[in-house]
């Protein structure tokens, strides 16, 4: 593989230089906060960088945090066209509010028809167990079948320590997840269905003349917080998954098993303060941007544009821009035919000895083979160039 293209090297160095002017001092970063919760997790939503964690893989009861997956499955089904927001869902006796005494409810009534869009709000904003069952039955026919779908989505997302048996989160010995897995789910909700994520920021929902506030009180306390979900049962304790954004940096926190509602708020704020104060996230490359133009042999053109198919973000200690290094490693000899998105090399981003990002470098367009004479001529040129050791 040859070295980074000089133009790209110059561009990267210039960008990093100007960014580093903001703060060239060495980082002074304390240890992550110590919380009293059973498990917690702090991650950047764009780069995926884990900033802080504790007991992140301990299987714990999620309580109403379960409804995040219920809502995620609903978003998927809506996107696939299997259900629609204006569907009129008949409330079954099983989904009836009176089957959940003492639980959070939307207050739907048995036998009545409710728009699917309202049921979604009942799940996300009112945290309604009744709404969750109604949606589960509408999508999968029964809550048991819906739980199977939830577990299939969990597996696809990489939630390796999660198992669901219901759509609402009431206790069951086989119903569990982890702080890490909930962060994975939160990241998917935010990035896969951004239009649906907006619902998590709504502060209240009124149905049947009953107004209910969102149980995530951080929506009122911290203007940077715009979701996600709370949960509480005796077995689970007080739980909160939150996401906040400041100056283009989005963090996700998961706190499970706090001792009180106020404790889960304090713990979440400690994590957010730590993440925003001592770390920063930067977008280095955008999907589809031309990062390099390479020589291609035996093709209908002699130049091939190279780039990536997804945005590249890095999260680093604040003030460490000057130490970030980026390199594009390109295959030494590229021959036609080449198809769009074919790997041609890779993009590597490091800070000191830590690898921050690694992405395949892809062909941004296809290049067909040239005619026989042109291909033979290129083969001859390539043979002599390699024979005398010239740089390609």
2: three-class secondary structure by DSSP? strand
Cβ–Cβ < 8 Å for 376, 345? no
Return the C-alpha torsion angle 162, 166, 170, 173, nearest 10: -50
- Which residue matches tokens 């160095």? 13
HSE-CB of 81 using CA atoms within 13 angstroms: 0
Q: What do you get for the CA distance between the two ends of the chain, in Å? A: 10
Q: Which of 49, 67, 229, 270 is catalytic?
A: 67
Classify residue 81 as left (phi > 0), alpha (psi -120 to 50) or beta: left
What is the spatial distance between Cα 183 and Cα 117, in angstroms, rounded to a whole number?
Answer: 25
Cβ–Cβ < 8 Å for 168, 134? no
CB neighbourhood size of 359 (10 A): 20
- Which residue matches tokens 């048991």? 144
What is the spatial distance between Cα 272 and Cα 252, in angstroms, rounded to a whole number?
Answer: 8
What is the spatial distance between Cα 312 and Cα 347, in angstroms, rounded to a whole number?
Answer: 10
Q: Calculate the CA 48 to chain-centre distance.
A: 7
Classify residue 17 as left (phi > 0), alpha (psi -120 to 50) or beta: alpha
Q: Which one, of 123, 148, 133, lies nearest residue 94 by Cα?
A: 133
Q: Which one, of 331, 239, 262, 265, lies nearest residue 294 by Cα?
A: 331
Active site residue 258: no
Active site residue 366: no
Q: Which of 64, 71, 104, 243 is catalytic?
A: 64
Active site residue 98: no
Residue 354: beta bridge partners?
A: 351
Q: Which of 127, 186, 258, 298 is catalytic?
A: 127
What is the spatial distance between Cα 123 and Cα 70, in angstroms, rounded to a whole number?
Answer: 8
Tokens of 270: 């400690």
258: three-class secondary structure by DSSP? strand
Q: Which residues are catalytic, by number?
A: 64, 67, 127
């Amino acid at each position: 593989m040859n070295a980074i293209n000089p133009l790209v090297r110059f561009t990267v160095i210039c960008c990093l230089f100007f960014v580093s002017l903001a703060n060239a001092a060495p980082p002074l970063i304390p240890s992550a906060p110590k919380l009293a919760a059973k498990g917690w997790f702090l991650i950047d939503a764009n780069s995926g960088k884990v900033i802080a964690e504790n007991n992140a893989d301990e299987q714990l009861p999620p309580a109403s945090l379960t409804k995040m997956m219920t809502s995620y499955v609903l978003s998927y089904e809506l996107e696939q066209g299997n259900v629609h927001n204006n569907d009129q869902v008949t409330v079954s006796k099983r989904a009836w509010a009176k089957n959940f005494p003492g639980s959070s409810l939307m207050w739907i009534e048995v036998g009545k028809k409710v728009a699917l869009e309202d049921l979604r709000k009942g799940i996300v904003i009112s945290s309604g167990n009744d709404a969750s069952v109604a949606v589960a039955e509408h999508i999968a026919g029964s809550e048991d079948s819906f739980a199977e779908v939830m577990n299939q989505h969990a597996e696809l997302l990489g939630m390796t320590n999660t198992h669901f048996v219901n759509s609402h989160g009431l206790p069951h010995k086989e119903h569990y997840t982890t702080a890490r897995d909930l962060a994975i789910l939160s990241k998917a909700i935010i990035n896969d269905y951004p239009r649906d994520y907006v619902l998590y920021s709504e502060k209240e929902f009124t149905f049947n003349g009953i107004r209910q506030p969102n149980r995530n009180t951080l929506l009122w306390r911290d203007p940077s917080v715009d979701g996600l979900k709370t949960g509480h049962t005796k077995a689970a304790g007080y739980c909160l998954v939150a996401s906040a954004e400041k100056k283009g940096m989005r963090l996700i926190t998961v706190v499970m098993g706090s001792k009180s509602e106020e404790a889960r708020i304090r713990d979440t704020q400690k994590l957010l303060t730590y993440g925003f104060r001592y770390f920063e996230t930067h977008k280095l490359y955008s999907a589809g941007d031309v990062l390099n133009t390479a020589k291609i042999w035996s093709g209908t053109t002699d130049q091939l544009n190279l780039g990536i198919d997804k945005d590249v973000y890095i999260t680093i200690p604040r003030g460490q821009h000057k130490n970030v290094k980026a390199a594009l490693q390109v295959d030494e000899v590229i021959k036609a035919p080449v198809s769009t998105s074919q790997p041609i090399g890779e993009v590597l981003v490091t800070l000191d000895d830590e690898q921050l990002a690694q992405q395949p470098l892809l062909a941004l367009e296809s290049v067909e083979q040239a005619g026989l004479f042109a291909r033979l001529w290129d083969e001859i040129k390539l043979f002599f160039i390699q024979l005398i050791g010239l740089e390609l």
